[in-house]
Structure 1
Amino acid sequence: MILRTQARRRTVAAAAAACALVVTLAGCSGTTKDDNDKGADGSSAGSGAKADPDAPLKKNLKLAFLPKAVNNPYEKIVDDAGIAAAGDFAGKGKEVGPSDASASSQVSYINTLIQQRQDAILIAANDPNAVCGPLKQAMQKGIKVVSYDSDTAKDCRQVFINQASSEEIGRSLVRNIGKQIGYKGKVAILSATQNATNQNTWIGFMKDELKNPKYKGMKLVKVAYGDDDDQKSFQQTQGLLQAYPDLKGIISPTTVGIAAAARYLSDSSYKGKVVLGGLGTPNQMRKYVKDGTLDQFSLWNPEKLGELGAYAAAALASGQITGAQGEKFKAGDLGEFTVGKDGEVILGPPTVFDAKNIDQFHF
């Protein structure tokens, strides 16, 4: 026994020395076999972990939802649904996060969740890169990371739950408002924060769509930022109309922004003259559709987004998937989903809400 112990000590010492020699090239994590040899992505080291689609979902999984801001009503719906879904597979979910949507506001929460040894962190990133350092630390410790709604940089998570095709969202918002203004006039975009991954991706596709010859009579005059703050978004709407009194349309691809813009327009001389479109929830926008402030807006079901996120996190934590393209997993009553390129999982196409169908939806 003593000889075996001494041999084992010599083996460990040799391994440590080897690690020191290659640290500048490979970067030793300091883990041992007792840490399951976790790699930088939280999967097994070496040739990489293999998915076991038949593995049962683990019990008592701890999932933490980290939204852009806890006072964002849209993300509250997403997170509450995800927390409820965790109960379906005997897991436990919770929501934590900042009250502001600044780039670095989520970092301290990630660090705390690492200390709490959560099984998975689900994050709607305020900035794709500001959160990367602590998220990578989380994955090194075996914590699975799922981004939803607003993505992180691709190497900072395993799976990204996207509401719909980013291209379809961006292009459809331009198509919808183009039809409403007869493809003529000045338009502006009221976004969330300047660094919001989802907003910037959608805006990129909006700008590309506007290059189509059929939009030659339309001009994008400004992209304004309300920082997903109700009052600032209200003021930005006012500022846009003061700067461009002949503005024909505003696209706001953020639920906070579109609701604030609608509130301003509904009590102004621009009501019925400036077309408002974008992404909103039926409960927020119902009265504005009914009073004629806007004709339509778009969104997917945020409850389903939260549910899908919870099941994806559970599938990762249980070894059913690793985040590789082509892997499949079941998400309860939502059915089966396939992991796409770069770990993206798409919920489905957005729904257009108007006076004809808005009373059918309550979220």
Structure 2
Amino acid sequence: MSEKTARRGRLLVAGTALAVLSLGLSACGSTTKNTATSTSSSGSGSATTSASGSANPNAPLKTGLTVAFLPKQVNNPYFTTSDGGGKTALTKLGETYKEVGTSSATDTAGQVSYVNTLTQQQVAAIAVSAQDAGALCTALKQAMKNGIKVVTYDSDTNPDCRQVFVSQASSEDLGRSEVQLLGKQLNYTGDIAILSAAQTATNQNTWIGFMKDELKKPQYKNMKLVKVAYGNDDAQTSFQQTQGLMQQYPNLKGIISPTTVGIKAAAQYLSGSSYKGKVMLTGLGTPNDMRQYVKDGTVAGFELWDPGKLGQLAAYTAVALSSGQITGASGETFTAGDLGSYTIGASGIILLGKPTVFSKDNIDQFNF
């Protein structure tokens, strides 16, 4: 099938995104969402910075810009929340929000096809959560050559393939803190496993690298990482991988799942098994997904940032880029609406902030 034909086949208009994760997530098809707001005379095409390419922090924000969100997987509750935050921010600014993407978290060719289509449509900016660090580069570079601003969020691509990466938090903080959480729960003793998403997921692999480095410290000498399993951000696969881990390693004491789909699926399996309360589970999850498992004792604690705010920050960044307020250079500062002021760091990275640890003591204070 040609790439042109594939693009045509993937551009399907979607219904309302699923708000609740089920074990029957579809592995085929695709979704497109488009919410238009009122436009101004600036139009909805791409905007560029000044001819010199320098930032003008006092430049007014353009309105009527089309900003497209391309998550790793549509109809995934995490991305439903994050992209919903992007939509909220764009609507406030008078922009047009668009979401496109595949329903599989491993359809890298699908992501490439969508980037190419968005480039042809001349959107102002693309906010993408990359399934693979390098696979999107050629398409994203072409988009930038066409004046389209590129922001990555949640999962980065190579730095030269985008202007800014909006990161959830420091990758090192996230990776090390998950090991620290589990270490305390296990009294620093026992075999552990990691249940990740796709093997190519940039953010997952970066976090896992820091997890492995944290485990080298003396306090973890009695903890051993026996396996890294991959659930491909699919609920059914992640459930089966958890079951497989327990069959392969019956003495397993703990699991870290740095993916919202994976940790919920693992909790579902453990809560209905003889391992409940005996095998500790932590990682990255949403309070609404994990509330019942914290309250029934399956999970003592886990962490995450607010995905809605992550999407908002990605949207504000895209508009600031399109308006010429920033170019993505280190040290540039801009205001992201109610989120406040942000400064771009090295390699064009913006950090949303520190993750929050959720437990039975505070989980009812959050609703996302």
Which category describes the TM-score, using the shorter chain as reference length? 0.7 to 0.9
8 Å contact 1:125–1:147 — kept in the other structure? yes
1:129 counterpart = 2:134: yes
Q: Following TM superposition, by how much is the alpha carbon of 1:116 offset from its aligned partner in structure 2, in angstroms?
A: 1.1
Q: Match for 2:83 among 79, 98, 109?
A: 79
1:219 counterpart = 2:230: no
1:70 counterpart = 2:74: yes
What corresponds to 1:251 in structure 2? 256
What corresponds to 1:280 in structure 2? 285
- Tell me, in whole angstroms, the C-alpha distance in 2 between the residues paired with 1:166 and 1:75: 19
Pair 264,314 (structure 1): closer, same or farther in 2 beyond 3 Å:
same
Q: How many residues align?
A: 322
8 Å contact 1:251–1:277 — kept in the other structure? yes
**Runs of 4+ residues deviating >6 angstroms:** 42-47
What corresponds to 2:308 in structure 1? 303
For structure 2, the 5+ residue unaligned runs are: 1-45
Q: Match for 1:93 among 77, 93, 97?
A: 97
8 Å contact 1:74–1:255 — kept in the other structure? yes
- Tell me, in whole angstroms, the C-alpha distance in 2 between the residues paired with 1:207 and 1:133: 31
- Tell me, in whole angstroms, the C-alpha distance in 1 between the residues paired with 2:355 and 2:225: 23
Secondary structure of the corresponding residue to residue 79 of structure 1:
helix
Pair 339,43 (structure 1): closer, same or farther in 2 beyond 3 Å:
farther
Q: Following TM superposition, by how much is the alpha carbon of 1:46 offset from its aligned partner in structure 2, in angstroms?
A: 11
- Tell me, in whole angstroms, the C-alpha distance in 1 between the residues paired with 2:156 and 2:200: 11
1:61 counterpart = 2:58: no
8 Å contact 1:43–1:322 — kept in the other structure? no
Give the counterpart letter for 2:304 in structure 1: L
Q: Match for 2:118 among 113, 116, 122?
A: 113
Q: Match for 1:150 among 155, 166, 173?
A: 155
1:161 counterpart = 2:169: no
What corresponds to 2:265 in structure 1? 260
Secondary structure of the corresponding residue to residue 295 of structure 1:
coil
Q: Deviations along 1:68-121, whole A, 9 cap, x unmatched?
A: 010211011000110111011111112110010123220111111111110000
1:317 counterpart = 2:290: no
Pair 207,43 (structure 1): closer, same or farther in 2 beyond 3 Å:
farther
- Tell me, in whole angstroms, the C-alpha distance in 1 between the residues paired with 2:50 and 2:320: 21
What corresponds to 2:22 in structure 1? none
What corresponds to 2:299 in structure 1? 294
Pair 88,138 (structure 1): closer, same or farther in 2 beyond 3 Å:
same
8 Å contact 1:325–1:339 — kept in the other structure? yes
- Tell me, in whole angstroms, the C-alpha distance in 2 between the residues paired with 1:154 and 1:43: 21
Larger radius of gyration: 1
Q: Following TM superposition, by how much is the alpha carbon of 1:44 offset from its aligned partner in structure 2, in angstroms?
A: 7.6
Q: Following TM superposition, by how much is the alpha carbon of 1:48 offset from its aligned partner in structure 2, in angstroms?
A: 4.8
Secondary structure of the corresponding residue to residue 244 of structure 2:
helix
Secondary structure of the corresponding residue to residue 102 of structure 2:
coil
- Tell me, in whole angstroms, the C-alpha distance in 1 between the residues paired with 2:69 and 2:50: 30
- Tell me, in whole angstroms, the C-alpha distance in 2 between the residues paired with 1:273 and 1:121: 44
What corresponds to 2:3 in structure 1? none
- Tell me, in whole angstroms, the C-alpha distance in 2 between the residues paired with 1:267 and 1:61: 48
The alignment's C-alpha RMSD in Å is 1.4
8 Å contact 2:50–2:324 — kept in the other structure? no
Give the counterpart letter for 2:236 in structure 1: Q
Identical aligned pairs, as a percentage? Answer: 64
1:197 counterpart = 2:202: yes
Q: What are the within-5 Å matches in structure 2 for residues 19-58 of structure 1?
A: 48-58=52-62
Secondary structure of the corresponding residue to residue 326 of structure 2:
coil
8 Å contact 2:49–2:55 — kept in the other structure? no
Pair 302,321 (structure 1): closer, same or farther in 2 beyond 3 Å:
same
- Tell me, in whole angstroms, the C-alpha distance in 2 between the residues paired with 1:104 and 1:295: 38
- Tell me, in whole angstroms, the C-alpha distance in 2 between the residues paired with 1:104 and 1:92: 26
What corresponds to 1:7 in structure 2? none
- Tell me, in whole angstroms, the C-alpha distance in 1 between the residues paired with 2:95 and 2:47: 21
Normalising by structure 1, we get a TM-score of 0.87
Normalising by structure 2, we get a TM-score of 0.86
Give the counterpart letter for 2:340 in structure 1: G
Pair 113,141 (structure 1): closer, same or farther in 2 beyond 3 Å:
same
- Tell me, in whole angstroms, the C-alpha distance in 1 between the residues paired with 2:268 and 2:59: 50
- Tell me, in whole angstroms, the C-alpha distance in 2 between the residues paired with 1:280 and 1:105: 26
- Tell me, in whole angstroms, the C-alpha distance in 2 between the residues paired with 1:313 and 1:147: 10
- Tell me, in whole angstroms, the C-alpha distance in 2 between the residues paired with 1:84 and 1:45: 25
Secondary structure of the corresponding residue to residue 322 of structure 1:
coil
Give the counterpart letter for 2:123 in structure 1: Q
Pair 43,205 (structure 1): closer, same or farther in 2 beyond 3 Å:
farther
Give the counterpart letter for 1:134 in structure 2: A
